[in-house]
Amino acid sequence: MGVSGSGKTTVGRRLALDLRGTFRDADDYHPARNIEKMAQGVPLTHADRRPWIDRLRPVIDEGRRSAGVLVLACSALTRRIRRELGIAKDRVRLVYLEADAPLLETRLRARKHFMPPELLSSQLELLEPPAHALVLDAARPVDELVAEIRRAFGL
């Protein structure tokens, strides 16, 4: 988890590949109207996120029931969202990729994505760092982050 530009997708894909698991990106579960809204630089409200949460919850629940590994890149910025997604349940491990605003902005400006850099400040304002997560410095190389996640969770 983390704000846009923290490396969730890059790290998640690599971790899933290393673990021979399945990777999912929560961005793929946004309704078209949410993507349009963000692309226009308008922050989402919790009401906007409701359909996204409703689409993601079964993905997480299925991952928990599965014998395989599911790695989900998901912003999950607030305690409420994490609770509604069922992240606190068994078999779910949370990794928070933490980064400072200058690094995030640099990354956002360097990529093509529906989330414009102008929305970064709204995500940072909304962010409630998790109390129970593996917290990693998103500035570290991807290989180091994946190795640390595997060590921390015995994977």
pTM as predicted: 0.89
Our count of domains for the chain comes to 1
- The answer to whether residue 3 is domain-embedded is no
Examine residue 97 and state whether it is found in any structural domain, yes or no. yes
For residue 1, being part of any structural domain is answered with: no
Specify if 2 maps to a domain: no
Tens digit of each residue's pLDDT, the chain (155 residues): 999 899 999 999 999 999 999 999 999 999 999 989 988 888 889 999 999 999 999 999 999 888 889 999 999 999 999 999 988 777 889 999 999 999 988 898 887 777 677 788 888 999 999 988 999 999 999 999 999 999 999 99
Q: What is the spatial distance between Cα 41 and Cα 35, in angstroms, rounded to a whole number?
A: 10
Helix (H, G, I), strand (E, B) or coil at 95: strand
CATH number at residue 134: 3.40.50.300
